[in-house]
């Protein structure tokens, strides 16, 4: 198993600081993240496209784990592109357009389109006689069973219509699945005790219910979701605070109500999200962050006076607004990890010119920089004013000689000076943005970092 150290400048005491964008070290090289899965509070699993990539200096194939400090390549990874990742019965299930787990010629048999990872045995297959015959695009755990959705019509010899379930021992069809002129499940979510599935289909269940692009399953039978949508659903997210289900896709109507690409369902009726003049058909992903709905995508038009929307946007309860400059190109995936919003996609910059190669973080405690670890023992210091635009004053009661370093949001060292007790730094030459100020003993045995905002 390969590990690469990926030490951030820990941004402590960030309460009171504004949320800001930052790249994650040098980011991804060669590919972009296609799926995020928060396995637990300390582990973000990242799936990426076919092309071999590197992240934090580690060569990756298809998938990796990131804990905010280290990147784990999961042995040789997978040959393919994951679309969905889920933990079930203590094992990590990875589904997508997958040729095999590990690299040829050492491919593990029957791991095409769905592979399983555990820390003891590494990569393996679920069943020894067959995997899904087509791409997996969505996964969800419901009633203690793992559901997979996508384009498959057979799993391990069991016929299914774009959806199947695994109880830990056997695969089963889900009451006829979904059908239509185009048959594909793209997204799943559990809401009000039912499994919701969305995608590109028009019928559900053995009686062919008119389930237009979205349907729900209660463990026994399929049901419609109002009168559905008039085009495909691409992503769903549950707002657990307000008890709502948000859906994004290529539709212009939801339940007969005009809704241009993002709609909300309250278990009774559909409603649009934002003004009807907004065109959100290009929305690819949704996330709930700090109690607000965030969205990412491309080719989105939002009518907001004086506001430029760049591929990342949020709903403030009345209208859609920009997110501090957004991203320079299409955003394919987003999630909330360790209290921050992570995005992945085709972009190379976020915010206002901040370098971020295909992955970025938005929040108050994002990791910044590479190769710097903060020791357990810290050097307490005070800096003011913050934000600043001319002079930054740093004071400390420490008697030992110290060194102060300032790093840009991309982890580049932009200033360094030795001092004792106090120092005044000219910041007028620094570009506006976020920096990390690090004060340490000269030998590096003790250190502490805080966020600096330059106006």
What residues does each domain of the chain span? 3-363, 382-454
Residue closest to 196 by CA, chosen among 209, 211, 210, 182: 211
Say if CB 454 and CB 430 are below 8 A apart. Answer: yes
Place of tokens 């905010």: 68
Residue closest to 18 by CA, chosen among 366, 322, 446, 294: 366
Which three-class secondary structure state does DSSP give residue 379?
coil
Least confident of 33-37, 291-295, 374-378, 381-385: 374-378
Tokens of 52: 């071999």
Residue-wise pLDDT for 8-18, tens only, equals 332 333 333 47
pLDDT over 80 (residue 376): no
Cα gap 87→344, rounded to integer Å? 21
User: Could you tell me the pTM of the whole model?
Assistant: 0.78
Least confident of 167-171, 203-207, 264-268, 446-450: 446-450
Q: What is the mean pLDDT of the chain?
A: 86
Those residues with Cβ within 8 angstroms of residue 282's Cβ, 6 or more apart along the chain or in another chain: 261, 297, 298, 299, 300, 330
- Mean predicted confidence (pLDDT) in 312-340: 92
Least confident of 93-97, 239-243, 427-431: 427-431
Which three-class secondary structure state does DSSP give residue 178?
strand
Those residues with Cβ within 8 angstroms of residue 72's Cβ, 6 or more apart along the chain or in another chain: 1, 2, 3, 64, 65, 66
Where is pLDDT greater, at 38 or 41?
A: 38
pLDDT of residue 148: 98
- What confidence tier does 344 reach under pLDDT thresholds 50, 70, 90? very high
Beta bridge partners of 343: 334, 360
Kindly write down the DSSP assignment for every residue of 422-451, as one continuous string.
EEEEE-TTSPSEEEEEEEEETTSSSEEEEE
- CATH (one of 1.10.10.10, 1.10.260.40, 3.90.79.10, 2.130.10.10) for 3-363: 2.130.10.10
pLDDT over 80 (residue 368): no
Q: Is the dihedral of CA 299, 300, 304, 308 positive or negative?
A: negative
Cα gap 115→97, rounded to integer Å? 11
Say if CB 163 and CB 148 are below 8 A apart. Answer: yes
* Residue 384 burial class via C-beta count within 10 angstroms: exposed 0-12, middle 13-18, buried 19 and up: exposed
Backbone angles phi, psi at 18, to 5 degrees: -70, 155
Cα gap 243→43, rounded to integer Å? 26
Residue-wise pLDDT for 46-81, tens only, equals 998 766 677 866 778 899 998 887 788 888 888 888
Residue-wise pLDDT for 248-269, tens only, equals 999 999 999 999 999 999 999 9
pLDDT over 70 (residue 159): yes
pLDDT over 50 (residue 5): no
Where is pLDDT greater, at 49 or 244?
A: 244
- Integer distance in angstroms from the first to the last C-alpha of the chain? 44
- What confidence tier does 167 reach under pLDDT thresholds 50, 70, 90? very high
Please tell us whether the domain made up of 382-454 is placed in CATH 2.60.40.3080.
yes
pLDDT over 80 (residue 451): no
Which three-class secondary structure state does DSSP give residue 159?
strand
pLDDT of residue 31: 83
382-454 has the same fold as 3-363? no
Cα gap 121→132, rounded to integer Å? 22
Say if CB 102 and CB 117 are below 8 A apart. Answer: no
pLDDT of residue 6: 30
Beta bridge partners of 97: 81
Residue closest to 357 by CA, chosen among 311, 317, 408, 410: 410
Cα gap 225→18, rounded to integer Å? 39
Cα gap 237→338, rounded to integer Å? 18
Please write down the HEC assignment for all residues of 57-84. Answer: CEEECCEEEECCCEEECCCCCEEEEEEE
Say if CB 213 and CB 224 are below 8 A apart. Answer: no
The DSSP bridge pattern shows strands 214-217 and 209-210 to be unpaired
Cα gap 335→41, rounded to integer Å? 12
pLDDT of residue 404: 92
pLDDT of residue 222: 98
Residue-wise pLDDT for 80-132, tens only, equals 889 999 999 999 999 999 888 876 667 788 888 999 998 888 898 887 767 89
Cα gap 252→200, rounded to integer Å? 14
- What confidence tier does 371 reach under pLDDT thresholds 50, 70, 90? very low
Cα gap 335→197, rounded to integer Å? 19
Residues 194, 199, 205: CA angle, nearest 5 degrees: 55
Where is pLDDT greater, at 217 or 26?
A: 217
pLDDT over 90 (residue 232): yes
Tokens of 168: 């830990």
pLDDT of residue 146: 97
Least confident of 70-74, 168-172, 240-244, 355-359: 70-74
Q: Residue 310 — left, alpha, or beta (φ > 0 → left; ψ -120 to 50 → alpha)?
A: beta
């Amino acid at each position: 198993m390969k590990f690469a150290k990926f030490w951030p400048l820990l941004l402590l005491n960030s309460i009171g600081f504004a949320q800001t964008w930052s790249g994650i070290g040098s980011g991804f090289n060669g590919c972009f993240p296609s799926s995020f899965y928060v396995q637990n509070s300390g582990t973000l699993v990242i799936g990426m496209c076919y092309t071999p990539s590197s992240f934090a200096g580690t060569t990756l194939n298809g998938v990796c784990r990131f804990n905010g400090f280290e990147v784990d390549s999961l042995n040789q990874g997978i040959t393919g592109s994951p679309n969905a990742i889920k933990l079930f019965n203590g094992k990590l299930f990875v589904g997508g357009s997958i040729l095999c787990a590990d690299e040829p010629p050492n491919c593990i048999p029957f791991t095409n389109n769905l592979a399983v990872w555990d820390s003891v045995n590494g990569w393996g297959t679920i069943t020894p006689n067959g995997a899904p015959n087509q791409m997996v695009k969505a996964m969800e755990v419901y009633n203690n069973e793992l559901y997979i959705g996508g384009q498959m019509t057979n799993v391990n010899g069991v016929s299914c219509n774009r959806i199947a379930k695994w109880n830990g021992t056997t695969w089963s069809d889900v009451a006829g699945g979904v059908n239509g002129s185009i048959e594909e499940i793209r997204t799943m979510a559990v809401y009000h005790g039912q499994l919701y599935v969305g995608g590109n289909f028009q019928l559900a269940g053995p009686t062919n219910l008119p389930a237009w692009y979205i349907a729900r399953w209660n463990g026994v039978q399929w049901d419609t979701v109002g009168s559905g949508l008039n085009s495909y659903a691409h992503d769903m997210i549950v707002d657990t605070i307000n008890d709502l289900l948000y859906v994004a896709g290529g539709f212009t109507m939801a339940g007969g109500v005009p809704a241009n690409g993002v709609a909300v369902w309250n278990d009774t009726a559909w409603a649009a999200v934002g003004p009807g003049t907004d065109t959100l058909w290009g929305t690819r992903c949704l996330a709930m962050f700090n109690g607000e709905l965030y969205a990412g995508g491309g080719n989105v038009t939002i009518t907001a006076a004086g506001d430029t929307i760049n591929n990342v946007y949020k709903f403030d309860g009345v209208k859609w607004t920009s997110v501090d400059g957004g991203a320079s190109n299409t955003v394919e995936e987003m999630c909330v990890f360790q209290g921050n919003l992570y995005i992945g996609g085709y972009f190379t910059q976020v915010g206002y010119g901040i370098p971020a190669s295909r992955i970025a973080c938005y929040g108050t405690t994002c990791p910044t920089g590479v190769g710097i670890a903060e020791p357990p023992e810290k050097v307490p210091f005070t800096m003011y004013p913050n934000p600043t635009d001319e002079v930054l004053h740093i004071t400390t009661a420490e008697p030992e000689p110290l060194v102060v370093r300032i790093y840009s949001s991309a982890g580049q060292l932009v200033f360094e000076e030795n001092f004792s007790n106090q120092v005044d730094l000219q910041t007028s030459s620094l570009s506006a943005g976020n920096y990390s100020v690090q004060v340490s003993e000269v030998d590096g045995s003790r250190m502490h970092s805080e966020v600096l905002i330059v106006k």
